[in-house]
Amino acid sequence: MPRITHLAYYPVKGLQGVPLDAVSLAAASGFPLDRHFAIADDRTPFDPNDPQHLRKQQLVVQMKYERLAELGTQFDPNTFELTLSHKGSSEIFVLDTETGKSACEQYLTVFMGNLIQGSARLISGPGISYTDLSTPCISLINLNSVRALEQALGNNVDHRRFRANIYLDGIPAWQEESWLNKTLTINGVELLVYKITDRCAAINVDPKTAIRDKTLQGLKREFGHLNMGVYAKVVNRGDISVGDDILVRQ
């Protein structure tokens, strides 16, 4: 039976994930504060008076900038304190204040340098989650699919490359794709699987080293597709935790 091994969310899209032991979910929502913020630069078409969901191609993300993976990330959802760490040095920014947000933007502008266009900006909007899909969702990764990729490539593939909310174990590689249009139940919470996840160049970035490689190309070469994981919609409210079993409604 599949079981949850890790939970994570990503308060700032493009930065490292923050692990969770448990999470409270609500119907038609993703993980709380997941991709709540995104990093923009002067090319990003964002109107703060009319915030809209944006495509990842319009944002400062690891798909384009592997340097982002060098930043260690911690986040306190109660105080909105974002801690960014780099080469043994850490700074804390309170993102629900203009002062803290501005200080974080200045830090990111200096950190990214001439890799981006102009200044870095932290953007957000009511009800907006800057996931790769415009509708609220959560992402799931089968660790045995990651292991199958590892074996095919002949080298370690860190599961964090795939930036999922739920990592699970206990089923054969790629079996998660058979869950399409089926309902999963986790501790009474129902999730409707509705899309197979096709990966982008972000998975080429090693979260440990921030070095870009050709994992995406290897996935395509060895398996003939770019699939890794699935997306699901939350049907009803409830709590899920690391160690919970996942029941699949046939």
Q: Which long-range contacts (CB under 8 A, 24 or more apart) does 72-76 make?
A: 72/16, 73/11, 73/12, 73/15, 73/16, 73/17, 73/18, 74/18, 75/11, 75/12, 75/18, 75/33
Q: Show pLDDT as tens, one digit a residue, over the chain (250 residues).
A: 999 999 999 999 999 999 999 999 999 999 999 999 999 999 999 999 999 999 999 999 999 999 999 999 999 999 999 999 999 999 999 999 999 999 999 999 999 999 999 999 999 999 999 999 999 999 999 999 999 999 999 999 999 999 999 999 999 999 999 999 999 999 999 999 999 999 999 999 999 999 999 999 999 999 999 999 999 999 999 999 999 999 999 7
Domain boundaries, given as residue ranges, for the chain: 3-29+133-248, 38-123
pLDDT per residue as tens digits for the range 155-183: 999 999 999 999 999 999 999 999 999 99
Strands, DSSP E only, in 143-208?
A: 166-169, 183-186, 189-198
Superfamily of chain region 3-29+133-248? PK beta-barrel domain-like (2.40.33.20)
Rounded to the nearest 5 degrees, what angle is found at the Cα of 145, between the Cα atoms of 191 and 234?
Answer: 10
To the question of pTM greater than 0.95 for the whole model, the response is: yes
